[in-house]
């Protein structure tokens, strides 16, 4: 068995979703993200080819455009674009959804229009690139390149960044600070550092909800075949960070289920569960729920329509019916968030035990690198998996060192095969603690999931500069990885403080 490591504890909001520790023991630089949209720049790295603009529209019905958006949510921009073109929103497609408070550059495809039809939209620079025979999809996004400024960092930021980079270099398989490529004078705040760094490939707070992280709790209840509790956790279950009217509405839903005093969104299994002794007055709940909580209203409306008693069996069809009132993508998100939280917990336990992330031990399952990914990315291909027995540890470790292979952990589903040895022991202990087995994800409709595996190490070539007093971080990450998971190692602040 390995020996446990002494690690710096993460923020409570992060621990609630399985991110228990930091890799770096360095003090944080503090600061804030997104003081202005220009402080957070994201450029997509796509694997999508376009034919010329004069290609035959019959064979290439989609116009491919590149949009640089300032302070635009991707969904809102797509809706604005479709409205300006007078077409259905369903004819606009993209590969990755971006946050609003940023400057983002990404591709879109629009079906059945001419490039000359493209409108001018405030806060958007739109360039037609060509035509395509199909619409963009999530699989076309290889990754993202980031340029991020952290505003109002502490005066000691250069020294603390250098210390953190040393820790993250070592975690990625490097040799620490002395092997870095640094220049400038840290004390004079004219400083730059370039290094290959690594952190656990956690799912970031955005996956679960920054202000009210409950999606994983809903998903875990679904996997346990308890749709009643899933509905209650989503529609009830108030959080301290919510406005008063929202908290009051959720308290009313909890009372209908038989939960008094509210509960806080937190660790899996924390807080009171519905005991079935509530008043079941779903009409009163609807009166209390504000219109902005439209998905919660949809769920409760179905309960009211059917007059579902609060003590109906937890897996009764009526509860499933209420749960399915939300859009199919949100149904999938519930289950995906549950899988993500379990992955985070597995990664945290591996970190706590001192098992390496940059190379395998006996019992690990590795995947190989995606040969089609852009050169800037360390991109894993989880469709190509291999178990590592004792005889192959050294060989596979060399592949990992060269960026050709990555150690993985499960995103548990019906077809997930768990590891062996100590890695498999960790996986099974985390699942047992959550009351989950792979077969539990054989679920109705959109909730069903076969599962997959995910690389546990997030590695990137990091460039940090201090030209004007505030640090600027430049790096690229594969699709599905989170910039905030890297930045948290430097800021050491809670998600809501950034």
Q: Which residues have a catalytic role annotated?
A: 99
- Of 335, 333, 400, nearest to 365 by C-alpha is 400
How far is residue 385's CA from residue 375's CA, in Å, rounded to a whole number?
Answer: 22
**How big is the chain by its Cα radius of gyration, in Å?**
24
How far is residue 353's CA from residue 397's CA, in Å, rounded to a whole number?
Answer: 19
Torsional sign, CA 128, 132, 138, 144: negative
CB contact set of 339 (below 8 Å; sequence gap of 6+)? 219, 411, 412, 413, 441, 449, 451
Residue 22's DSSP bridge partners are 8
Residue 229: other Cβ atoms inside 10 A: 22
How far is residue 498's CA from residue 486's CA, in Å, rounded to a whole number?
Answer: 14
How far is residue 199's CA from residue 197's CA, in Å, rounded to a whole number?
Answer: 7
How far is residue 51's CA from residue 47's CA, in Å, rounded to a whole number?
Answer: 14
At residue 130, φ and ψ (nearest 5 deg) are 165, -160
Range 65-99 burial, b when 16+ CB lie within 10 A, else e: bbbbbbbbbbeebbebbbeebebeeebbbbbbebe
């Amino acid at each position: 068995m390995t020996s446990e490591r002494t690690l710096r504890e993460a923020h409570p909001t992060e621990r609630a979703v399985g991110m228990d520790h930091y890799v770096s023991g360095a003090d944080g630089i503090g600061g804030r993200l997104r003081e202005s949209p220009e402080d957070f720049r994201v450029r997509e790295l796509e694997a999508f080819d376009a034919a010329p603009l004069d290609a035959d529209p019959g064979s290439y019905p989609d116009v491919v455009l590149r949009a640089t958006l300032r302070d635009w949510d991707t969904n809102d921009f797509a809706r604005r674009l479709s409205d300006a073109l007078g077409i259905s929103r369903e004819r606009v497609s993209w590969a990755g959804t971006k946050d609003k408070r940023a400057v983002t550059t990404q591709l879109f495809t629009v079906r059945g229009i001419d490039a000359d039809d493209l409108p001018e939209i405030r806060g958007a620079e739109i360039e037609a690139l060509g035509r395509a025979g199909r619409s963009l999809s999530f699989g076309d996004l290889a990754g993202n390149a980031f340029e991020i400024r952290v505003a109002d960092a502490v005066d000691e930021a250069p020294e603390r960044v250098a210390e953190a980079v040393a820790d993250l270099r070592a975690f990625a398989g490097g040799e620490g600070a002395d092997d870095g490529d640094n220049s400038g004078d840290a004390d004079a705040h004219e400083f730059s550092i370039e290094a290959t760094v690594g952190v656990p490939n956690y799912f970031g707070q955005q996956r679960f909800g920054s202000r009210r992280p409950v999606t994983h709790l809903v998903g875990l209840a679904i996997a346990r075949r308890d749709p009643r509790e899933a509905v209650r956790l989503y529609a009830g279950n108030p959080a301290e960070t919510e406005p008063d009217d929202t908290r009051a509405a959720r308290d009313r839903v909890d009372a209908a289920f038989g939960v008094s005093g509210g509960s806080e969104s937190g660790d899996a299994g924390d807080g009171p569960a519905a005991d079935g002794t509530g008043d079941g007055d779903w009409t009163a709940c609807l009166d209390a729920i504000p219109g902005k909580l439209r998905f919660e209203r949809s769920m409760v409306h179905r309960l009211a329509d059917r007059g579902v008693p609060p003590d109906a069996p937890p897996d009764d069809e009526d509860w499933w019916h209420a749960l399915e009132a939300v859009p199919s993508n949100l149904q999938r998100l519930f289950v995906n968030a549950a899988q993500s939280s379990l992955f985070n917990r597995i990664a945290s336990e591996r970190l706590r035990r001192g098992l390496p992330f940059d190379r395998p031990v006996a019992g690990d399952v590795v995947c190989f690198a995606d040969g089609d990914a852009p050169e800037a990315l360390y991109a894993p291909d989880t469709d190509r998996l291999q178990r590592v027995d004792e005889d192959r540890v050294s060989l596979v470790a060399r592949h990992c060192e060269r960026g050709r292979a990555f150690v993985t952990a499960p995103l548990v589903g019906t077809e997930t095969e768990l590891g062996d040895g100590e890695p498999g022991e960790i996986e099974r202990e985390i699942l047992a603690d959550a009351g989950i087995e792979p077969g539990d994800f054989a679920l109705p409709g959109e909730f069903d999931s076969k599962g997959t595996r995910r690389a546990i190490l997030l590695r990137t070539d990091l460039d940090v500069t201090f030209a004007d007093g505030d640090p600027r971080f430049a790096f690229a990450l594969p699709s599905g990885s989170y910039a905030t998971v890297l930045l948290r190692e430097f800021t050491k602040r809670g998600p809501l403080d950034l």
